[in-house]
Chain A
Amino acid sequence: MSAAERVLEVEGLAFAYPDGHQALFGVDLRLHRGERVALLGPNGAGKTTLALHLNGILSGGAGQVRVAGLPVEKRTLKEVRRRVGLVFQDPDDQLFMPTVAEDVAFGPANLGVRGHDLEHRVHEALRRVGMEAHADRPPSHLSYGQRRRVAVATVLAMEPEVLVLDEPSSNLDPASRRELAEVLLSLDLTLLMVTHDLPYALELCPRALVLDGGVVVADGPTRDLLCDDALLRAHRLELPFGFDPVRAGR
């Protein structure tokens, strides 16, 4: 596998918050172009902290992050943030502009896109998540599932190379969950999905990583990891009652 095909590389990443709480203790991971990978782990494992490093929101600890070969550092932040699209857990945090279309335009406008190009990007991003009919509505008038899909569109409009989603299925009803899964599967993008929703990880991501205690403790095909009872138990991961990863989706 050549270096060019590695879209995301994390090497020896360690990080402690200013209050002294150390969240990451040397994380290594590699994502290849077009891969869909689930980052699994219990609450407090450092998943969100890791996600915030991927576009340089957090930095300053040991180790390095490279996005399509470009190291994440101060002078590359703008390009890194274009390449890595981060979708936050609460869509109300992500959608802050008065209308859906203006919110989707926010990212590309910050990149200097204007006029027809901007309109085209907004329309295209909303089309990809099936929300083009709601372009002129205020985000507060949308359902939670619709807001989550718009949040994905706000990042798609920046034409990223990697999409990083923080708990994409949280608080969604089953129909919204399925709709979001359909949207995510239709995207031709490298995807890193931070979650503790194991069936969702299995449905969307052929490969999974387990993060616990600030290190990657397992990396492999999602189905294999979910079948490893001892591994799941050791890291506070649990399958929902009655869920059989061997038979699911086959």
Chain B
Amino acid sequence: MGAGHTHALYRDGRSPLHRLPPQVKLVAALSFVLLVVATPRTQLWAFGVYLVLVLAVAAVGRVPLRTLRTGLLLETPFVLFAVLLPFLSRGAQVEVLGVSVSETGLLAAFNVLAKATLGTLTSMVLASTTSIRDLLKGLERLRVPRSLLAIAGFMVRYLDVVVGEMQRMRVARAARGYDPRSLLQARAVAASAGALFVRSYERGERVYLAMVSRGWTGAMPDLGTPAATAADWARGVVLPVAGAAVCTAAWVAAR
């Protein structure tokens, strides 16, 4: 267990993208994704340009294509939904590979697929070049309330601990011959889940006591993230500005 969970996506490196302050990267990624979503779906070429932009940024961050490909697995549920759309939608029908499907459905499917893929790729690039700790620091600079960040931080910190406990319980069940073959045997798993919840709850209380013991009064201390320089922001806006140009051009072309 251990390391794998918290840093599954992050790849250590010294690329210009790694060195960019996290708050800049967060703003750039979020605005780029919003621009992609705001692009009219009829302008297919625009999405091609977006893809080139994201891949270019990934190249700057030396993110291997393999990592991006793995990340796209996250998108699978959306893909399944998108595949159904051309068959479920009504309206003008077109023939694709001898099957009659709805034209608007096809466009809607492309829309979902293209935007989800670009969004996923953008977050993958962000996640592979920014550690979770830096992401939290960036969010702090962006004035996200500290208590929310503390909750996110605790989740990151204790995920390994809870997963470890869960695995030990699974091993302990298996060691006593537990080998579920039907849903009727799920009772032991449910009991374990309950025990895990109680244990985690009790741990939460102990962590709280440890925090209070060290003078915590309700506010998390400032993590002391340095401010981003103008030069950082100048580098950071390249992607959103390029995206804005594509988006504007797409809207003009769509009229």
Please give the residue numbers on chain A whose beta carbons come within 8 Å of chain B beta carbons, in ascending order: 52, 55, 57, 78, 81-82, 86, 88, 90, 92-99, 102, 105-107, 109-111, 114-115, 118, 138-141, 154-155, 158
In the complex the two chains form, is A140's CB within 8 Å of B161's CB? yes
- Cβ contacts B215-247/A at 8 Å (1 or 0 each): 111000111100000000000000000000000
Q: Apart from A57-B212, A93-B206, what 20 extra A-B contacts exist at CB < 8 Å? A: A57-B209, A78-B217, A81-B212, A88-B209, A88-B210, A92-B203, A93-B203, A93-B210, A96-B157, A96-B158, A98-B156, A105-B221, A106-B221, A110-B221, A111-B215, A114-B224, A140-B3, A140-B161, A141-B2, A158-B214
| CB closest chain-A residue, reference B203 | A93
A141 to B157, CA, bound (A): 11
Contacts A106-B221, A109-B222 given; does A92 touch B161 at CB 8 Å: yes
In the complex the two chains form, is B133's CB within 8 Å of A96's CB? no
Please give the residue numbers on chain B whose beta carbons come within 8 Å of chain A beta carbons, in ascending order: 2-3, 6, 132-133, 136, 153-154, 156-158, 160-161, 203, 206-207, 209-217, 221-224
A141 to B3, CA, bound (A): 7
In the complex the two chains form, is A140's CB within 8 Å of B157's CB? yes
In the complex the two chains form, is B215's CB within 8 Å of A81's CB? yes
A13 to B212, CA, bound (A): 21
In the complex the two chains form, is A140's CB within 8 Å of B217's CB? no
| CB closest chain-A residue, reference B223 | A102
Q: How far is the CB of A20 from chain B (nearest CB, A)?
A: 19
A11 to B233, CA, bound (A): 61
A82 to B215, CA, bound (A): 7
9 pairs, A vs B, C-beta closer than 8 Å: A81-B212, A86-B213, A96-B157, A97-B157, A98-B133, A102-B223, A114-B224, A154-B214, A155-B214
Q: How far is the CB of A192 from chain B (nearest CB, A)?
A: 14
Q: What residues of A have a CB within 8 angstroms of the CB of B209 in the complex?
A: 52, 57, 88, 93
Q: What residues of A have a CB within 8 angstroms of the CB of B133 in the complex?
A: 98-99, 138
Q: What residues of B have a CB within 8 angstroms of the CB of A55 in the complex?
A: 213
| CB closest chain-A residue, reference B215 | A110
Q: How far is the CB of A32 from chain B (nearest CB, A)?
A: 23
A90 to B153, CA, bound (A): 19
Q: How far is the CB of A124 from chain B (nearest CB, A)?
A: 16
Q: What residues of A have a CB within 8 angstroms of the CB of B3 in the complex?
A: 140-141
Q: What residues of B have a CB within 8 angstroms of the CB of A105 in the complex?
A: 221
Q: Across the A-B interface, give the 9 residue pairs with the lowest CB-CB distance, nearest first.
A: A109-B221, A110-B215, A107-B214, A93-B206, A98-B133, A86-B213, A140-B160, A94-B210, A81-B215
Q: What residues of B have a CB within 8 angstroms of the CB of A94 in the complex?
A: 210
| CB closest chain-A residue, reference B216 | A110
In the complex the two chains form, is B132's CB within 8 Å of A110's CB? no
A52 to B221, CA, bound (A): 24
A29 to B221, CA, bound (A): 35
Q: What residues of A have a CB within 8 angstroms of the CB of B153 in the complex?
A: 96-98
A86 to B210, CA, bound (A): 8
Q: How far is the CB of A39 from chain B (nearest CB, A)?
A: 17
In the complex the two chains form, is A96's CB within 8 Å of B211's CB? yes
In the complex the two chains form, is A107's CB within 8 Å of B215's CB? yes
A141 to B164, CA, bound (A): 13
A110 to B210, CA, bound (A): 13
A106 to B214, CA, bound (A): 7
| CB closest chain-A residue, reference B212 | A57
In the complex the two chains form, is B136's CB within 8 Å of A98's CB? yes
Q: What residues of B have a CB within 8 angstroms of the CB of A110 in the complex?
A: 214-217, 221
Q: What residues of B have a CB within 8 angstroms of the CB of A92 in the complex?
A: 158, 161, 203
A99 to B137, CA, bound (A): 12
A154 to B214, CA, bound (A): 8
Contacts A93-B206, A93-B210, A98-B153 given; does A158 touch B215 at CB 8 Å: yes
A151 to B224, CA, bound (A): 22
Contacts A81-B214, A109-B222, A140-B157 given; does A90 touch B6 at CB 8 Å: no
Q: What residues of A have a CB within 8 angstroms of the CB of B157 in the complex?
A: 95-98, 138-140
